[in-house]
């Protein structure tokens, strides 16, 4: 069959493959959420409905895409991590990013009325941008995740103090900003405690730590395995038997996707959950709640 004379345009398509054997992180971020949060009167500094909605959308994305091993969210952003052996869409960046962004946005709008039952959405509707970055080693990936959680902590401590000064201290935003300029974490903790009787440690974990979404299995006693080193040494995709791949797929589909607010900077989180880095489904607890 002769091709049509138009078909040459296909040659304009350029490859956009992400580097093989690297961890793919897709980070999405709410577009213009400063304005959006004012329009829907999100409470300051944290609106639990808005965070729960972000988490519900992220959980749906992780559930629909078993290639995602873990996701981390704070404020209007979410990072989705694909295992380094992932071959989804032949690792084409635009296909992976656009799938995450559209699936997340669709669920965000779908679940809106669950979390904001009295406030219907109106245009401009919420939307998200997205980008993919490849991290070559477990250490790079861990540092990326730590960076986002450290950012969450720094911003939340600042915002909690800033809004306490305004809402309870009765000063205006400019004065509050001046007062906090150059302060260290200890100073902010002290302001919260001495002026407002707030112990920052007792603030909800979802605000202090952000949210982690992953498939849950039985925790492993740390120290028995060095998953990170093993995974880093893996130079290319391990050839899995079709049978094993099917088994893993079933196990993943059965596993419960959970939303937690844990410390992901320390080793413990990763040591207890070797399946997050190894991509081998863990044991037990594979009871999916409906
Ligand atoms: N009040 C309130 N605002 C929030 C909350 N979560 C996110 N936001 C808002 O979302 C913004 C997120 O920051 P950015 O992503 O840097 O700002 P943006 O306006 O979304 O701008 P672009 O991402 O560049 O489009 C924050 O500055 C807040 O204004 C919340 O729980 N409560
Ligand atoms: Mg934003």
Q: For residue 239, what pLDDT band results from cuts at 50, 70 and 90?
A: low
Per-residue pLDDT at 287 exceeds 60 = no
Q: Is residue 52 a known part of a binding site? A: no
CA nearest 161: which of 56, 57, 45, 265? 45
Cα 65 to averaged position of ligand 1 atoms, centre (Å): 26
Tell me the C-alpha to C-alpha distance, in Å, between residue 60 and each of 47, 66, 108, 231: 20, 11, 10, 27
Classify the C-alpha dihedral 88-93-97-98 as positive or negative.
negative
CATH of 15-145+205-278, one of 2.60.40.1120, 3.30.70.3000, 3.40.50.720, 3.30.465.10: 3.30.70.3000
Q: Is the CB of 160 under 6 A from ligand 1?
A: no
Provide the pLDDT confidence category of residue 237 given band limits of 50, 70 and 90: low
The number of residues making up the chain comes to: 290
Mean pLDDT of 207-217: 98
d(CA 133, CA 151): 18
Best of 31, 32, 33, 42 to mutate for ligand 1, by most ligand atoms within 8 A of CB? 33
Residue 55 Cβ inside 6 Å of ligand 1? The answer reads: no
Residue 227: the pLDDT is 84
pLDDT, average across residues 73-83 = 98
Q: Are strands 256-260 and 211-216 parallel, antiparallel or unpaired?
A: antiparallel
CA distance 126 to 33: 8
Please check the confidence at residue 171 and state whether its pLDDT lies above 70: yes
Q: What is the pLDDT of residue 1?
A: 64
Output the pLDDT for position 289: 54
Mean pLDDT of the chain: 94
Give the start-to-end residue ranges of the domains of the chain. Answer: 15-145+205-278
* Whole-angstrom distance, CA of residue 114 vs CA of residue 56: 10
Query: pLDDT by residue (tens digit) across 117-169?
Result: 999 999 999 999 999 999 999 999 999 999 999 999 999 999 999 999 999 99
Task: Compute the distance between CA of residue 110 and CA of residue 53 in angstroms, rounded to an integer.
Answer: 10
Cis status of the peptide bond prior to 45, with omega within 30 of 0: yes
Contact of 67 with 82, CB cutoff 8 Å: yes
Residue 230's pLDDT band (boundaries 50, 70, 90)? confident
* Per-residue pLDDT at 79: 99
Q: How far is the CA of 21 from the centre of ligand 2 (A)?
A: 30
73 is annotated as contributing to ligand binding: no
Give the per-residue pLDDT at 231. 86
Percent of the chain whose pLDDT exceeds 70: 95
> For residue 242, what pLDDT is reported?
78
pLDDT average, residue stretch 163-176: 98
Question: What is the secondary structure of the chain as a DSSP string?
Answer: -PPPTTGGGGGG----BPPTTSEEEEEEEETTHHHHHHHTT--SS--HHHHHHHHHHHHHHHHH-TTEEEEEEETTEEEEEE-TT--GGGGBHHHHHHHHHHHHHHHHHHHHHHH-TTS---SSPP-EEEEEEEE-SHHHHHHHHHHHHHHHHHHHHHHHHHHHHHHTT---HHHHHHHHTT--HHHHHHHHHHHH---GGGS-HHHHH-EEEEEE-----TTS--HHHHHHH--S-----HHHHHHHHHHHHHSEEEEE----SSHHHHHH-THHHH----SS------
Average pLDDT, integer, range 223-244: 76
Total-model pTM: 0.95
Q: So what's the pLDDT on residue 226? A: 80
Question: What six digits make up the tokens of 212?
Answer: 């982690």
Residue 193: pLDDT band with limits 50, 70, 90 = very high
Say if strands 211-216 and 68-74 run parallel, antiparallel, or are unpaired: antiparallel
β-sheet with 77-82: strand ranges across = 128-135, 23-30, 77-82, 68-74, 211-216, 256-260
Ligand 1: atom nearest CA of 48 is: 31
Cβ contact 68:61 at 8 Å:
yes
pLDDT in tens, 5-60: 999 999 999 999 999 999 999 999 999 999 999 999 999 999 999 999 999 999 99
Which of 57-71, 198-212, 246-260 has the least mean pLDDT?
Answer: 246-260
| Mean predicted confidence (pLDDT) in 105-114 | 98
Report strand pairing: 23-30 vs 128-135. antiparallel
Model confidence pLDDT, tens digit, residues 245-270: 788 888 898 999 999 999 999 999 99
């Amino acid at each position: 069959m002769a091709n049509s004379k138009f078909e040459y345009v296909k040659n304009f398509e350029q490859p956009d493959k992400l580097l093989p054997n690297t961890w793919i992180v897709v980070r999405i971020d709410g577009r213009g959420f400063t304005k959006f949060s004012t329009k829907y009167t999100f409470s300051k500094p944290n609106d639990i409905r808005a965070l729960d909605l972000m988490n519900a959308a992220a959980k749906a994305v992780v559930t629909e895409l078993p290639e995602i091993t873990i996701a981390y969210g704070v404020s209007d952003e979410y990072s989705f991590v694909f295992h380094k052996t992932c071959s989804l869409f032949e690792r084409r960046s635009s296909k992976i990013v656009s799938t995450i962004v559209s699936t997340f946005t669709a669920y965000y709008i779908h679940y809106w009325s669950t979390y904001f039952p009295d406030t219907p959405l109106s245009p401009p509707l919420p939307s998200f941008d997205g980008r993919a970055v490849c991290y070559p080693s477990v250490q790079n990936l861990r540092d990326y995740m730590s960076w986002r959680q450290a950012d969450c902590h720094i911003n939340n401590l600042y915002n909690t103090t800033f809004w306490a000064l305004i809402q309870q201290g009765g000063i205006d935003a400019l004065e509050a900003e001046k007062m906090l300029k150059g302060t260290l974490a200890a100073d902010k903790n002290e302001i919260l405690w001495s002026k407002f009787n707030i112990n920052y440690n007792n603030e909800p974990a979802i605000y202090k730590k952000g949210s982690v979404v992953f498939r849950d299995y039985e925790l492993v006693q740390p120290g028995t395995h060095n998953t990170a080193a093993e995974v880093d040494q893996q130079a290319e995709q391990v050839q899995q038997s079709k049978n094993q791949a099917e088994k893993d797929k079933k196990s993943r589909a059965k596993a419960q996707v959970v939303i937690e607010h844990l410390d992901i900077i320390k080793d413990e989180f990763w040591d207890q959950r070797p399946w997050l880095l190894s991509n081998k489904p863990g044991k037990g607890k594979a009871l999916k709640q409906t």
